[in-house]
């Protein structure tokens, strides 16, 4: 007999080629599956969303199956002994067999950090940005994205999805200590969507683009800019079920 386990994990994305398993590459999914195999648990690890190379997670959700004799508290401890220091299992619990971390998710939040104070010690975790910040302009621009829209022009080229329609529930942009933080909450996100949005808004901040350009691209009247902001400032913050 087997039981299904939900685990909430955090990881340092700078140490991996993304979340999703890839042949010959060190990934978060691959490392967890290898750790499970060391415990004679042969299970595929499902995840709530694949983060790109260099992108971090504070509360990613994964699921896998284990033999029914496993005590969840002990399993968490022994797995952390194997996957540390760049992956940490924060919580672990049993769920029903048909639970799917990706399709059962109700909403997700991401944050993106920028700072003008460069140090080599946060280079992998914050995007260095030395231009003057117009916080109100960025905040107002973010508000334009709230609601239900077709975000095809804000997705990585080659994204294979049935629909590009997503709903953004809430956005914010604020200063915290030496950092500026973008926060976006939605029902789901396309590949590269947050990074394309951040790059677009920073260009608005520099007067390279305008809020009118943002509306034009959002309405799919014209593709104006589809560049990705660097991955190191991006964090998968939380997932709700």
Are β-strands 2-11 and 179-186 bridged in parallel, bridged antiparallel, or unpaired?
unpaired
Catalytic center residues = 52
Which residue's entry shows tokens 């939900």?
A: 6
The length of the chain in residues reads: 241
Number of helices and strands in the chain (H, E): 5, 10
Q: Please, is 74 exposed, middle or buried when counting C-beta atoms within 10 Å of its C-beta (0-12, 13-18, 19+)? A: exposed
Query: With the CA atoms of 78, 15, 11 and 38 taken in that order, what torsion angle do they form, in degrees rounded to the nearest 10?
Result: -20
Element (H, E) at 234: strand 234-240
d(CA 108, CA 66): 27
Distance CA 100, CA 88 (A): 21
- 177, burial (CB in 10 Å: exposed 0-12, middle 13-18, buried 19+): exposed
Contacts of 212 (CB under 8 A, 6+ apart): none
């Amino acid at each position: 007999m087997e039981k299904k386990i939900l685990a909430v994990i955090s990881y340092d994305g700078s140490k991996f080629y993304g979340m999703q398993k890839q042949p010959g590459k060190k990934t978060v999914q691959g490392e967890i599956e290898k750790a499970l195999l060391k415990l004679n648990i042969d299970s595929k690890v499902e995840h709530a969303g694949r983060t790109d190379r260099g992108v971090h997670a504070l509360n990613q959700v994964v699921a896998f199956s284990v033999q029914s004799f496993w005590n969840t508290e002990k399993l968490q401890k022994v797995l952390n002994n194997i996957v540390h220091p760049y992956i940490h299992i924060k919580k672990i619990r049993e769920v029903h067999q048909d639970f799917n971390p990706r399709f059962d998710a109700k909403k997700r939040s991401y944050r993106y950090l920028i700072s003008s104070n460069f140090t080599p010690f946060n280079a992998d975790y914050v995007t260095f940005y030395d231009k003057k910040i117009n916080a109100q302009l960025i905040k107002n621009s973010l508000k334009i994205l709230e609601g239900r829209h077709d975000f095809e022009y804000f997705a990585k080229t080659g994204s294979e999805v049935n629909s590009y329609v997503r709903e953004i529930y809430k956005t914010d942009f604020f200063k915290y200590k030496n950092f500026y933080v973008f926060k976006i909450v939605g029902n789901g996100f396309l590949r590269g969507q947050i990074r394309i949005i951040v790059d677009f808004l920073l260009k608005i901040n520099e007067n390279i683009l305008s809020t009118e350009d943002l509306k034009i691209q959002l309405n799919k009247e014209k593709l104006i800019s589809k560049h990705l902001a660097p991955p190191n400032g991006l964090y998968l913050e939380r997932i709700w079920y």
